[in-house]
Amino acid sequence: MTPASVVAPAEDPKRLADFEARIARGETIEPKDWMPERYRRQLIRMMSQHAHSEVVGMLPEGNWITRAPSLRRKMSLMAKVQDEAGHGLYIYCGTETLGVDRHDLILQLLAGTAKYSSIFNYPTISWADMGAIGWLVDGAAIVNQTMLAKASYGPYARAMVRICKEENFHKRQGFEIMTVLSGGTPEQHAMAQDSLNRWWWPSLMMFGPHDADSPNSGELSRWGIKRKSNDELRQRFVNMTVAQAKAINLTIPDEGMRFNEATANWEFSAINWDDFWRVVKGDGPCNRERLAARRKAHDDGAWVREAAAAHAAKQTESTEAAA
Ligand code: BYC
């Protein structure tokens, strides 16, 4: 099934076959290469959602910068949030190699017509949430993005290599916060456990719907953008995280979790997909707040964009005058 958002005209069968042969040989597709229109549109869809996620993803953590418990924690959190802004800009640059203007993509986000990761629509109500986000959300992102670093589209794959290096630092700072809290006073341990309880299921939802309910996966896999499925990556993340939770004396909030000796997988209970779709469709705990914050930031930044445009025009003028 082809999702409506990426419907495109039929392609020349010869060019399509050559393109698919390149993918099969493991070649990387670069911006000036011929590509099917649907490949281009799928990448714009996915990469713009990814860039929006990085930018919206700064909000739940930005909320805690002024309340970090020490200077060291404050510096790490500020650096992390700054990295996320950089990731967003880097991926918006990547979308522009596909012939779109990032300004149009940002307007789609502000209009509420573009998606961004469901995970950022949950509130951050305690300091432990900074630990859980780094450990689980960045941890899940690394699992997903390590796979995307092998995507067939060169600019996206290369962006992922660099971004994953920074995500590793993010994950470590989060895991360290959880380790310290879990090993602290009973109240601190309870705070860490409560945070894990609230972020566990939304983190599993980050990987997207079950493979059988994922309309984009077929095309993305066929064209080497996705190398592993939503369910495969989710399982990989669960398998990794169970041991990490145990190591810091926290309990994953799933009584149905069982280790399957035959498959070597930790099997987990059913995900609440109604909740997932409610959040994706705009009715999560913080969707409205997140978009309002982005719109305000965009409006407040209008003078910066105007000043930058005026400066660029002056530069062009003086270069032309000198020539
Ligand atoms: N949330 O056919 P499917 C970060 C949508 S930020 C919302 O499986 P696909 C960080 C999906 O878009 C990194 N929507 O889609 C930042 C599709 O709708 P459309 C975030 C979701 O593309 C700050 C529909 O559901 N990572 O690390 O094959 C602080 C059907 O899904 C979600 C990325 O963006 C979701 N969770 O697979 C800390 C990674 N899941 O577009 C950390 C890049 C699905 O057809 N993206 N939908 O209307 C991907 O890897 C893939 O796009 C997904 C979904 C696995 C997310």
pLDDT in tens, 152-161: 999 999 999 9
The region that residue 224 occupies, defined by phi over 0 for left and psi between -120 and 50 for alpha, beta otherwise, is left
Nearest CA owner, ligand 1 atom 54: 208
- Ligand 1-lining residues (CB < 6 angstroms): 3, 5, 45-46, 49-50, 53-54, 57, 84, 115, 117-118, 133, 137-138, 141, 144, 205-209, 214-217, 220, 230, 280
Are the C-beta atoms of 158 and 166 separated by less than 8 Å? no
The pLDDT value given to residue 1: 44
DSSP class of residue 30? -
Atom from ligand 1 closest to the CA of residue 207: 55
Q: What is the H or E stretch that residue 260 is in?
A: strand 258-260
Are the C-beta atoms of 230 and 205 separated by less than 8 Å? no
55: Cβ contacts below 8 Å, ≥ 6 apart: 84, 85, 88, 109, 116, 294
Q: Cα of 119 to ligand 1 centre, how many Å?
A: 10
From the centroid of its chain, how far is CA 26?
Answer: 25
Whether 4 has a pLDDT exceeding 60, the answer reads: no
> Tens digit of pLDDT for each residue in 252-288?
999 999 999 999 999 999 999 999 999 999 999 999 9
45's tokens: 């869809």
In sign, the C-alpha dihedral spanning 55, 181, 190, 266 is positive
In sign, the C-alpha dihedral spanning 239, 55, 38, 35 is negative
In whole numbers, what is the pLDDT of the chain averaged over residues? 96
Is the model's pTM score more than 0.85?
yes
Name the β-bridge partners of 266. Answer: 259
The pLDDT value given to residue 232: 98
